[in-house]
Amino acid sequence: MRIGSWDSQTDGTYIIAELSANHGGKIEIAKESIEAAKACGADAVKIQTYTADTLTLDCDNEDFIIEGGTLWDGKKLYDLYKEAALPWEWHEELFDYANKIGIGLFSSPFDKSAVDFLEAFAPPAYKIASFEITDYELIRYAASKGRPMIISTGIATIQEIQDAVEICRSEGNDEIVLLKCTSAYPAPLEDANLRTIPNLAETFGVVAGFSDHTLGITAPVAAIALGARVIEKHFILDKSLGGPDADFSLDREEFAQMVQVVRDTEKMLGEVDYSMTEKKRKSRQFARSLYVAEDIQEGEILTEKNIRSVRPGYGLHPKYFKGILGKRAKKNLKKGMRMDWSLLE
């Protein structure tokens, strides 16, 4: 799978800086955020394409008031989305800017009109947000455009995940990334359930990743160790900007640290390797081997006293220790000599 210039088979983890509502209502902040995300090491920036009217109704009924222990409890859905929305008239300038500085930019569409609008910018992928995974017609329409589909699974049943994957494939689109996600803001570490990541890849035959809403950088780093190939994390220039997502977003310093630790983790994971490298060969000098521990006369019997397994590792392998005990020396042996079969009768 390729997303822009990223190749899932050969490249490192695809790291996405989620801008979300962290634009402060100013296009200058959005552009500076894109530039900063690139400087921090992100591979791409993700925005969201919706209006309050494409997401919900401007309604004061109890159903439309947020409850449930979130950061936004008591707020009307319409008002939250109106505050958080990135103006559609910014898109062209932001896509042009991202292309100019050399970082990927794509979006989460929240209805068909957003997909139609985004097509003009040839985004490298479409992202389906966790709460939209049940909107099968949106998934079908986005998948029909033939671009890679990145789908968060935060609120989905396993059947709904299966449905989403099958819908994409029914449109001839098998370029699918499923992101393990906990749809809580912020998400408790104990609810991350990161072992789901390799299971997503195995169960659905897709690229698996992690959309993270926990605080800090521990969870995404652990996700890498479990096989996540894509990491999405909310990014903000400065938390003093405030806004709906500021509390669970990483600032520049934190995001750069996450990227560095992810890249370090990738280096440490490496690959399955039992080969005898040159470094291993050199280090074997510090392994144990069999040496003459005290002077031995010709014809004298080798014992646990005059032969020992010690460092360095230039002598006979210690696995032969029991096998040479009781044998006789072919000639006089000096303390410190490497034991070798040629020295025995």
Instruction: Say what the pLDDT of residue 267 is.
Output: 95
Report, in angstroms and rounded to the nearest whole number, the Rg of the chain calculated over CA atoms. 30
Residue 69 has pLDDT above 80, yes or no: no
At 178-189, the pLDDT tens digits run: 999 998 889 999
Alpha helices in 102-187 (DSSP H): 112-119, 136-143, 158-170
At 199, the amino acid letter reads N
The DSSP bridge partners found for residue 207 are 177
Instruction: Say what the pLDDT of residue 306 is.
Output: 97
Instruction: Say what the pLDDT of residue 245 is.
Output: 85
At 94-106, the pLDDT tens digits run: 999 999 999 999 9
Instruction: Say what the pLDDT of residue 72 is.
Output: 81
Mean pLDDT (the chain) is 96
DSSP state of 157: -
Q: Among the listed ranges 46-60, 72-86, 197-211, which one has the minimum average pLDDT value?
A: 72-86
Average pLDDT score over residue span 321-339: 97
Instruction: Say what the pLDDT of residue 185 is.
Output: 86
Which residues, other chains included, contact 142 with Cβ-Cβ below 8 Å and sequence gap of 6+? 109, 115, 126, 128, 149
Q: Among the listed ranges 7-11, 78-82, 87-91, 293-297, which one has the minimum average pLDDT value?
A: 78-82
CA pair distance 275, 267, nearest whole angstrom: 17
Fold (CATH) for 2-50+85-269: TIM Barrel (3.20.20)
Reported confidence tier of residue 67, pLDDT bands at 50, 70, 90:
confident
Domain with CATH 3.20.20.70 in the chain: 2-50+85-269
Average pLDDT score over residue span 146-175: 97
Distances, alpha carbon 148 to alpha carbons 3, 99, 176, 220, 300, in Å: 7, 18, 6, 22, 76
Distances, alpha carbon 193 to alpha carbons 15, 180, 182, 196, in Å: 20, 8, 8, 6
At 125-144, the pLDDT tens digits run: 999 999 999 999 999 999 99
At 244-259, the pLDDT tens digits run: 888 899 999 999 999 9
Average pLDDT score over residue span 155-177: 98
At 187-230, the pLDDT tens digits run: 999 999 999 999 999 999 999 999 999 999 999 999 999 999 99
Instruction: Say what the pLDDT of residue 196 is.
Output: 98
Residue 32 has pLDDT above 80, yes or no: yes
CATH number of 278-343: 3.90.1210.10
Domain with CATH 3.90.1210.10 in the chain: 278-343
Average pLDDT score over residue span 6-25: 95
